[in-house]
């Protein structure tokens, strides 16, 4: 597709005048990374214009628009990436600025919808609760150190030392990550696990020789980087979740198994795993495969996915690809430890596509979503957020 043709489709896309066939062409064009960056530049310009429109007088808008265009062409920098599946139009925003420039005697701009904020929500931080075999619980917070047996924590990583294995009965610890948190774990065999907000995993503080190493992800999301069998006397590694069993050797994969969701998603990043459910058929996954387990009927299916999208959270990003607001608010709710409500139930099914940093304040993300006109505004009250 020629650049000028793509630009026409982009404008039609944001004007909601694009046809189904044209949308397919645009989606195909966006599969190229370079094209996605071009599209993101349009979005950044639109956001910059909308964000500053209420602060600039009409006689400064022309220079503001030109300055943003020059900046986008002259330098590349890491900013919030947005691609919106909604009704807002970049072209309309630019035309709106031009319209204001041609209004004689007008030097004020209509105020935007009021957004009510009574609370501030910070991004998730390193925090966890460690439960020992005897039931004693220890809070792990950032910058607080802990040394206990063969375990030690620096406030961000809980590491178990690799001591000589014995045939003694396994001793288990449980690591729980609250909403608004995350934590890194290194098992005694050197395997590494990153646990996302609202997750819990049970594991032995030391593995036994000549037995498969096994941990249990009780719920939540975790990214595993497994120490290979040849470094552990040939012993394999298994991850259980309810009726699902993943058998691995040395590999990297992600499991998302939140309690309130209907499906369990297991995505392979590197290596190979074998997955089965309820002692049924076993599937061998290769990188890029995702196994989807239905909690209702235990049916297991496999499909190919964009791994970078599925594991974006481990790199500090939210990546949404035509995700509903209901799905998105679940993700944001866990990370910022907040409850979302919908004043209009129809908003739940609204679709949004975007790439955002998990380091941002929640208010910044809410303002960005509001700016797309997918929602009109929102209200924060008593730790709850209502989308309107």
Question: Per residue in 218-277, pLDDT tens?
Answer: 999 999 999 999 999 899 999 999 989 999 977 999 999 999 999 999 999 999 999 999
Tally DSSP H helices, then E strands, for the chain: 8, 24
119 located within any domain: no
The domain containing residue 329 runs over which residues? 316-387
For residues 18 and 86, membership in a common domain is answered with yes
For residues 325 and 306, membership in a common domain is answered with no
For residues 151 and 299, membership in a common domain is answered with yes
116 located within any domain: no
Q: What is the DSSP letter of 331?
A: H
Contact 236, 212 (CB under 8 A): yes
pLDDT at 164: 64
For residues 146 and 278, membership in a common domain is answered with yes
- Residue-wise DSSP of 85-102: -SS--HHHHHHHHHHHHT
- Residue-wise DSSP of 269-330: EES-EEEEETT---EEE-TTEEEEEETTT--EEEEE--HHHHTGGGGTEEEEEEEEHHHHHH
- Residue-wise DSSP of 245-270: EEEESS-EEEEEE-TTSSEEEEEEEE
What values do phi and psi take at 111, rounded to 5?
Answer: -70, 145
Q: What's the token pair of residue 79?
A: 């900013």
**Rounded alpha-carbon distances, angstroms, from residue 7 to 38, 45, 215, 374:** 10, 14, 50, 22
E strands within 142-288?
146-148, 151-153, 157-160, 172-177, 181-186, 192-195, 199-204, 213-225, 237-241, 244-248, 252-257, 263-270, 273-277, 283-285
Residues 130-165 pLDDT 10s: 999 999 999 999 888 999 999 999 999 999 998 766
Residues in the chain: 388
Residues of the chain falling short of pLDDT 50? 49-119
Can you tell me the distance from the alpha carbon of 44 to that of 220, in angstroms, rounded to the nearest whole number? 33
For residues 153 and 295, membership in a common domain is answered with yes
Burial (CB count <10 Å: 0-12, 13-18, 19+), residue 273: buried
The H or E element that residue 131 is part of is strand 125-131
How open is the CA angle 38-41-12, to the nearest 5 degrees? 75
Domain end, chosen from 291, 312, 333, is at 312
204 located within any domain: yes
For residues 263 and 166, membership in a common domain is answered with yes
Q: What's the token pair of residue 57?
A: 């007088």
120 located within any domain: no
Helix (H/G/I), strand (E/B), else coil: 49? helix
Can you tell me the distance from the alpha carbon of 177 to that of 247, in angstroms, rounded to the nearest whole number? 24
Q: What is the CATH number of the domain that holds 181?
A: 2.60.120.1440
For residues 151 and 259, membership in a common domain is answered with yes
Domain end, chosen from 260, 284, 312, is at 312
For residues 332 and 265, membership in a common domain is answered with no
pLDDT at 107: 40
For residues 35 and 19, membership in a common domain is answered with yes
For the chain, state the CA radius of gyration.
24
For residues 175 and 241, membership in a common domain is answered with yes
257 located within any domain: yes
For residues 157 and 210, membership in a common domain is answered with yes
Q: Which residues pair with 284 in a beta bridge?
A: 274
pLDDT at 83: 39
Domain end, chosen from 280, 295, 312, is at 312
Q: Which residues pair with 172 in a beta bridge?
A: 204
**Count of domains for the chain:** 3
Q: Which residues pair with 295 in a beta bridge?
A: none
The H or E element that residue 340 is part of is strand 339-342
209 located within any domain: yes
């Amino acid at each position: 597709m020629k650049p000028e043709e793509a630009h026409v489709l982009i404008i039609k896309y944001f004007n909601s005048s694009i046809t189904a066939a044209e949308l397919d062409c645009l989606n195909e064009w966006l599969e190229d990374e370079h094209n996605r960056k071009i599209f993101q530049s349009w979005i950044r310009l639109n956001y910059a214009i909308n964000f500053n429109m209420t602060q600039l007088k009409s006689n400064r808008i022309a220079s503001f628009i030109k300055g943003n265009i020059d900046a986008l062409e002259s330098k590349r920098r890491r900013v919030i990436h947005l691609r919106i599946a909604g009704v807002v139009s970049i072209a309309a925003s630019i035309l709106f600025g031009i319209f204001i420039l041609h209004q004689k005697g007008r030097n004020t701009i209509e105020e935007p919808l009021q957004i009510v904020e009574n609370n501030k929500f910070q991004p998730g931080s390193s925090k966890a609760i460690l439960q020992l075999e005897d039931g004693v619980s220890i809070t792990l917070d950032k910058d607080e150190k802990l040394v206990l047996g063969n375990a030690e924590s620096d406030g961000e990583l809980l590491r178990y030392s690799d001591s000589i294995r014995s045939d003694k009965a396994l001793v288990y610890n449980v690591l729980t990550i609250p909403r608004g948190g995350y934590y890194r774990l290194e098992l005694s065999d050197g395997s590494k696990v990153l646990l996302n907000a609202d997750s819990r995993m049970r594991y032995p503080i030391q593995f036994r020789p000549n037995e498969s190493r096994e941990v249990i992800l009780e719920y939540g999301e975790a990214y595993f980087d497994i120490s290979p069998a040849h470094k552990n006397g040939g012993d394999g590694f298994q991850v259980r979740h309810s009726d699902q069993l993943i058998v691995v050797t040395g590999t990297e994969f992600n499991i998302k198994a939140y309690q309130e969701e209907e499906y369990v998603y297991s995505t392979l990043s590197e290596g190979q795993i074998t997955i089965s459910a309820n002692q049924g058929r076993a599937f061998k996954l290769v990188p890029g495969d995702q196994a989807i387990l239905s909690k209702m009927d235990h049916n297991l299916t496999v499909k190919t996915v964009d791994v970078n999208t599925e594991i974006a959270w481990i790199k500090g990003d939210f990546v949404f690809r035509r995700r509903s607001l209901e799905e998105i608010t679940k993700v944001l709710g866990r990370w910022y430890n907040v409850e979302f409500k919908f004043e209009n139930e129809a908003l739940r099914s609204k679709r949004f596509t975007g790439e955002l940093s998990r380091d941002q304040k929640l208010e910044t993300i809410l303002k960005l979503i509001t700016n797309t006109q997918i929602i009109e505004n929102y209200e924060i009250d008593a730790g709850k957020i209502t989308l309107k």
